[in-house]
Structure 1
Amino acid sequence: MEEKYYEVLTKIQEADGIVIGASNGLSISEGIHIFADDSSFQENFGDFREKYGFRSIIQGCFYPFPSEEEKWAFFSRMYNYFLYKTEASPVMKNLYELVKDKNYFVVTSNIDNHFRQAGFPQERLFEIEGNCRNLQCMNGCHNQIYPGDEILSKMAKSQENGKVPLDLIPKCPECGGLMQVHIEVDRNFLKGESWQTSYQAYQDFTRKAHGKKLVLLELGVGARNQLIKAPFMRLTNIEEYATYITLNKGELYIPDEIAAKSIGINGDTAEVLQQLVQMK
């Protein structure tokens, strides 16, 4: 195993460019599982679980709440749950430590804002499905995304009986209509200017890496998450000097076509990152 770690570390250190792809498995290694009816969910969202019957954070994201007061009670609680610790987790700190001096870019389907929290700059980050701290017009009447930290934090603190006060509910500054958290839970999800800019930055990064030593570092991405996996595998296949490195606990998937250019580590992502940073 140690030999494999050295191989991973060498590939990262020698890379001209690194694309990090991260999904739910990375969050799980931090102790956050949005798909699970675990003790953490029951402790933080037990009242919602009891009242509406949903069994995970992700189910709550898609739940048709009967009122705006209840909807915002859930989404502000979720925001608070993801970000009440103002310091980045050891997992995210280690990941940042591993790549901070390299030329890197991050593409993630995680909505918890933990990359920004750990010091990854916005211009090197493409959050495919949005971010729990931003707001948008529910009708998508215009392209602007708004920072919601202040109001979400206030709503999280002002809940009573699973509702937030009416006067705290945000309204669209343009049309005066309802707003929602900027995460992809329905067709209203705004792929506006900032989303397009991040998407373009991702495309530009991979284009500029053409013909160079490229590392595709995949963290906790399940086989079904083709949003991240498919482009990574395609790039590994077509780029002569690319290496595909996948870390995932209990589920590694490496197709035969790219097996010779791939390294898979089946283990706890938190422990693997800790190990790599120590060896660095």
Structure 2
Amino acid sequence: MPSHNDTPESLPDTLRAQLHHAAEIIDQADGLIVAAGAGMGVDSGLPDFRGPEGFWQAYPALGRAGLGFMDVANPRAFGRTPELAWGFYGHRMALYRATQPHAGFGILQRWAKGMNAGATVFTSNVDGQFQKAGFDPERVYECHGSIQHLQCFNTCTQDIWPADDFVPDVDEAQGVLRNAMPTCPHCGGLARPNILMFGDPLWLPARSEAQSLKLERWLALVRKPVVIEIGAGTAVPSVRNFSHQMLIYAGARLVRINVDEAQVPSRDDVGLALGGLQALQRIDAALQTLV
């Protein structure tokens, strides 16, 4: 696979043509829709949990216990073993807070500044990296919620509040939370992340629903949107489904960036079998060549 230091002229002809096509789509757009899955964070050093081996490499204590992603990423885990559940989510919370977004976020922002309507974001990621990178929080739709927000585990209230005051202390060797777990300010019971987990009927969607309405209002402002979809696979198809809806209902063009699943619906769209940062850098270089 070519490195991002190669010149456009040194790339294979097919890839060079794809990048040129992607650059043309972006150049004619009046609004940028960023649709991001777990692959968006890989270049920042975040795990994407693909397969049990990848998950257990990131969380060896859970691997020793024979627990997979779905075993801890569900509300039942908070009822059975809250220290373990908060060990997993507390570690992720601390990791996301410490992680610096990669340079691709800045490339997307620069493209958006050249468009009349700017950018909006649809993401299944719960890490808050788009806001940390400087994207307008009013234009970020987190369809699965946010790890940086909490709700009552027992849903005594519909309130959702920031997790800023909670600083998790996790024993990584055992995979458990060492300090006090966050509590609901209303009932004093256990609090949990405001994240849509597996088999989760008690997730409070109000915050995400409000973000959805803001996205709909933004879509009314654009006439030629482009969707840049990054690292969104078919295993959890939330982002892919959204991208396809934008093609049908918003008349958008699609640039899909996915190492393993880069197929696109039509020849009008572009699929790049590259990592997120590398693809964005490649497209950015191609944009510089447009007259």
Q: 1:173: which partner in 2?
A: 185
Aligned mates of 2:55, 2:188 — CA distance in 1: 36
Q: Relative to structure 2, which stretch is displaced further, 118-127 or 30-39?
A: 30-39
What's the offset of the Cα at 1:14?
2.4
Residue pairs, 1:125-136, within 5 angstroms: 125-136=140-151
**Structure 1 residue 124 corresponds to structure 2 residue 131:** no
Deviations 1:99-120 (A, max 9, x none): 3443111001111221112111
The offset of 1:239, in angstroms, is: 4.7
1:269 aligns with 2:276: yes
Q: Write the distance in 1 (CA, Å) between the matches of 2:181 and 2:246.
A: 44
- CA offset digits 1:238-264 (Å, max 9, x no partner): 555x31221111212323xxx143122
Equivalent-residue separation in structure 2 for 1:245 and 1:79 (angstroms): 30
Instruction: Report matched runs for 1:122-201 at 5 Å.
Output: 122-151=137-166, 153=167, 155-156=168-169, 161-165=174-178, 168-185=180-197, 186-192=200-206, 194-201=207-214
Give distance in 2, aligned partners of 1:216 and 1:265. 13
> What TM-score results when the alignment is normalised by the length of structure 1?
0.82
RMSD: 2.7
Corresponding residue for residue 263 of structure 2: 253
1:236 pairs with one of 247, 259, 273: 247
> Partners of 1:96 and 1:126 in 2: how far apart?
16
Contact 1:138/1:177 (CA < 8 Å) preserved in 2?
yes
Work out the percentage of aligned pairs sharing the same amino acid: 22
Q: Structure 2: give runs of 5+ residues left out of the alignment.
A: 1-14
How far apart are 1:181 and its partner, in Å? 0.7
Q: Secondary structure at the match of 2:72?
A: helix
Q: In structure 2, which of residues 34, 37, 49 is the aligned counterpart of residue 20 of structure 1?
A: 34
Structure 1 unaligned residues grouped into runs of 5+: none
CA distance in 1, matches of 2:255, 2:131: 23
**Contact persistence 2:225–2:253 (CA under 8 A):** yes
User: How far apart, CA to CA, are the structure 2 residues paired with 1:73 and 1:67?
Assistant: 10
Counterpart residue type for residue 185 of structure 2: P
User: Aligned partners of 2:56 and 2:108: how far apart in 1?
Assistant: 25
- Contact 1:96/1:118, CA 8 A, preserved across alignment: no
Aligned AA for 1:198? Q
Give SS of 1:64's match: helix
In the alignment, the residues of structure 2 paired with residue 159 and residue 54 of structure 1 have an alpha-carbon distance, to the nearest angstrom, of: 15
Q: CA shift at 1:97, angstroms?
A: 3.6
- The number of residue pairs the alignment matches comes to 266
Q: What do the CA deviations read for 1:197-234 (whole angstroms, capped 9, x no partner)? A: 1010112222332xx11112211222354433234323
1:171-196 per-position Cα deviation (integer Å, ceiling 9, x unaligned) = 1111222210111111111112x222
